[in-house]
Amino acid sequence: MTRELAFIERLRALATHPAARGLNDDCAVLPLGSETLILTHDMLVEGIHYLPGADMDDVAWKLVATNLSDLAAKGAEPIGVLLGHMLGPGDGDFLRGLEDVLSHYGVPLLGGDTTSGGPPRADGLTAVGKATFTPVPSRSGAQPGDAIYITGPVGAAMMGFEALRDGLEGDSAAFRRPMARLAEGQALAPYATAMMDVSDGLLLDACRMARASAVSMSLAGASVPLGCPSGRLLDALRWGDDYELLFTAPETTPLPVPAHRIGTVLLPEHAPLLLDGTPLSEADDLGYQHG
């Protein structure tokens, strides 16, 4: 067990409120009067989530978009965000990027905090939304016989990161400025039996969904859409940072948005994950894990 997973296991003893969903989901889901609030918090750390010396306008964009992606996986409509920012070089660029991304998604800044520190620098963001459909999708609803879908390709962020890291020409936008699939998430919420965004790698996130749903997930590698050369398939399946939506739905369900079928949900008689028939689990280096 990684240090991160061990820490989260201990946190579960504290997260007893039903809204926390046992810390097994992307967000907290909090009924409040006639509405259901959706809350999430993610951080970006220099040297881990972005390259040292990265343009701070891109860092601001990615910070907001990755948090909104968690709301998208719940089919939520954003209400606003709270920012935690570590002051340093490029603060003016950070503010410009923040204005760009908040304007793009029509999301207000509601407050937050600033501090000095670093390097490395770290920023955090809390995103608040409201459910557009109840029950709110979770990771835990996949059923045997369901089809497995993804809304778009994996691997483009990996290629963008490598281009930036190596100083090569190439489109790095997928890594620098990912897009949250808010419209797709809201459209899919009434139809998906389980849904999450792909942030830590398609294989690892599919395995997490399988564990949460107490099923097995069988993926066909050739069916996964790619934003990289086909020879990099296995790398792309593990790399992450794609922020497409991974979801399950009954095979006969007409989907309201374009999506790619990449597999089938099976009874939990197998490993949590099968890739082209090969059983896999979290011990098989499926994607990015802290610690």
- Tens digit of pLDDT at every position of the chain (291 positions): 678 778 988 998 999 999 999 888 889 999 999 999 999 999 999 999 999 999 999 999 999 999 999 999 999 999 999 999 999 999 999 999 999 999 999 999 999 999 998 899 999 999 999 999 999 999 999 999 999 999 999 999 999 999 999 999 889 999 999 999 999 999 999 999 999 999 999 999 999 999 999 999 999 999 999 999 999 999 999 999 999 999 999 999 999 999 999 999 999 988 999 999 999 987 778 887 644
At 268, list the tokens.
Answer: 């939990």
What is the model's pLDDT at position 23? 84
pLDDT tens digits, one per residue of 124-162? 999 999 999 999 999 999 999 999 999 999 999 999 999
Task: Give me the CATH topology for the region 147-284.
Answer: Phosphoribosyl-aminoimidazole Synthetase; Chain A, domain 2 (3.90.650)
Cα(20)–Cα(35) distance, integer angstroms: 17
pLDDT tens digits, one per residue of 99-112? 999 999 999 999 99
Cα(71)–Cα(31) distance, integer angstroms: 15
Q: How far is CA 253 from the centre of its chain?
A: 24
What does CATH list as the number for 3-131? 3.30.1330.10
Cα(10)–Cα(248) distance, integer angstroms: 30
CB < 8 Å & 24+ apart, contacts of 267-270: 267/144, 267/215, 267/216, 268/214, 268/215, 268/216, 269/216, 270/216, 270/218
CATH 3.30.1330.10 location in the chain: 3-131
